Amino acid sequence: MNGATTTREGSGGAGGPRAEAEAAFADGLGRYEAGDLVGAHAAFERAHRKAGNDPRPMSWYGLTLILVERNSNLGLLYCDQAVRLAGPEPELCLNQARAHVALGQRERAVRALARGLERDPENAALLAAQDALGSRRRPVLPFLSRDNPFNRWLGKLRHRWSRRAQPPRPPEPAALGRSPRDTAPKA
């Protein structure tokens, strides 16, 4: 009799912990898309606690740990662990890139996006994130090394001239991976 009671309590009622985790995860995604990072963080924490080693809630919880609580160590640990568990899934690689951008680690963000694009080269979110981060241009004089002082000087000059046309904005980690029309202010 005691075992039957424990089983029913352990299942979490009608839906069980898995259904509760999925509901919390869906709530978190909705809140994240709406721009409510604190609410999303709470929902992803609930989903992660219920789902255990499910890589998706783990990755999103890690990202919001960095964005909301500024807990970079644990947040990166969760994002990296999710990629190790599930492989380079595009969504997980995008979250990993967002986490690295939030921490000012642009090179690591670019590598995370490249891993995701190896798996799914046509993924729109990864392509939008890669476009938002930009890419390193070729040296002005390709026959000289990138470190050559003349190449560096010409590169700085080219950069100044290109910035006059359009001043760059650093990407917001929360908006990374969304197309420009998704991140435009709503009127």
Strands (E), the chain: none
Instruction: Rank 58-72, 122-136, 137-151 by mean pLDDT and report only the highest.
Output: 58-72
Closest CA to 163 of 143, 129, 137: 137
Taking a C-beta distance cutoff of 8 angstroms, is the pair 83, 92 a contact? yes
Write the pLDDT tens digit of every residue in 10-42.
Answer: 444 456 788 899 999 999 999 999 999 999 999
Please tell me the distance from the alpha carbon of residue 53 to that of residue 86, in angstroms, as a whole number: 10
Taking a C-beta distance cutoff of 8 angstroms, is the pair 65, 40 a contact? no
If you ran DSSP here, which 8-state letter would residue 69 be given? I
Please tell me the distance from the alpha carbon of residue 47 to that of residue 28, in angstroms, as a whole number: 8
Express as a percent the part of the chain with pLDDT over 90. Answer: 63
Taking a C-beta distance cutoff of 8 angstroms, is the pair 58, 82 a contact? yes
Domains of the chain (ranges; CATH) run 2-183 (1.25.40.10)
CA dihedral 168, 169, 173, 174 (to 10 degrees): -130
Closest CA to 81 of 71, 68, 67, 95: 95
Please tell me the distance from the alpha carbon of residue 11 to that of residue 161, in angstroms, as a whole number: 63
Closest CA to 80 of 66, 65, 93, 67: 93
Write the pLDDT tens digit of every residue in 164-180.
Answer: 766 556 667 776 777 65
